[in-house]
Amino acid sequence: MTLVIEQLSLGGDGPTVMVKDTIDIAGLPTRASSQALADAAPATVHADVVQALLDKGCRLVAKTSLHELAFGTTGINHWTGTAPNPRFPGRIPGGSSSGSAAAVAAGLADFSLGTDTGGSVRIPACCCGVFGFKPTFGRVSRRGVMPTHSSLDCVGPLAASLPMLVTAMLAIDPTFKPVSVPNTPRLGIVTVQASAAVQRVIDAAIAGSRLPSETLALPSLKAAYDAGMVVINRETFDACGHLLETGKVGADIAARLAAAGNTTAAALAQAEQVRVQFSAEVDAALQQVDVLVLPTMPDLPLTLADAADTQAVLGMTAFVRPFNLSGHPALSIPLASAEGLPVGLQLVGAKDADEQLLAIAGRLLERLYASHEG
């Protein structure tokens, strides 16, 4: 199966976990699903998150495939093969943590770990119909995670249920302490341009929750999306640009990586100004409400055939990447559409309020279930 890179059996008899192959497991090479790293030496020590999982008695059962070098959002990989989307066959699994999302959707693991630099946990979670969480930047250790340096990337869990996602956070974040929330947390509905099919599902969920809400604008959202790409390009080139010399990077990634090398210092400086501005904008919005609400993706997941068109995939991360730039915690909740395809409801919380964000998600889901039963 193309979603599993390496079978293993490490740890105790707790929840079963699969780990993205950008995260070091001692004794195994970290190849990031790239032929250019096919001969990588085995890692000598576990990544901090892997050690944390083992310390909590979790059982590590596999490493999972990804979009090559974690530099893409579809999950399509011509070297390892593309992880199938178990619940929505023929649709992209999403990337870059494609194998981690597909494994959970297929019921092969209780939860999995991915990494999210520009939506790479939340996009595949949305495409595969599971929960995916990007913690506050810097809150979960990245030691032993590729790339070594990132000002955007976060290790985050994927799971088929919210309680299992909380279990995952308790395992990988020693500071994570569940909290209770008010019965009626305030939702801030972020105005965005999504497809009618997606917007219908989001609107119905907000209405069904019967929670107090107000509409908010984030004027710098588009600028933050663009700035996030500038930073990703610079940091990915710095980490992986040398691999172009091998001639073994997939053609699609090689072209993007070569172009990323042209990122200028001026563009990066401007992106950092946007980071400050957008972060302040999100902080201010979260003074007014408890959580921000918007779609995870602007449209339904593409078919594998349509995703071969690079233009078609460009906007997939429009609503997720900005929150990597700002560093806020963000969760994708799986919802169903009339079209029979998945839609993600994204919740964004205040920095370091990861526990509160997941508790609010639980409250929202309780009320949604109650309204459906009612």
150, 188 contact by CB (below 8 A): no
Identify the sign of the CA torsion 235, 295, 350, 156: negative
120 is catalytic: yes
The H or E element containing residue 13 is none
Q: How are beta strands 291-295 and 342-348 bridged, if at all?
A: antiparallel
The H or E element containing residue 48 is helix 48-55
150 is catalytic: no
Q: Give the C-alpha separation, 286 to 277, whole Å.
A: 14
56 is catalytic: no
Among residues 370, 328, 366, the alpha carbon closest in space to that of 349 is found at 328
Query: Other CB atoms closer than 10 Å to residue 38's CB: what's the count?
Result: 11
> CA angle, 226 as apex, 99 and 31 as ends, to 5°?
30
Q: Give the C-alpha separation, 334 to 364, whole Å.
A: 13
Given the residues 34, 97, 98, 120, the one annotated as active site = 120
Among residues 344, 347, 295, the alpha carbon closest in space to that of 127 is found at 344
Given the residues 34, 96, 100, 332, the one annotated as active site = 96
Q: Give the C-alpha separation, 81 to 33, whole Å.
A: 9
Cα 28 vs. chain centroid, distance in angstroms? 24
295, 126 contact by CB (below 8 A): no
Strand 16-20's sheet: what is its strand order? 4-11, 59-64, 16-20, 111-116, 154-159, 131-134, 330-336, 342-348, 291-295, 187-190, 213-216
Catalytically annotated residues: 20, 96, 120
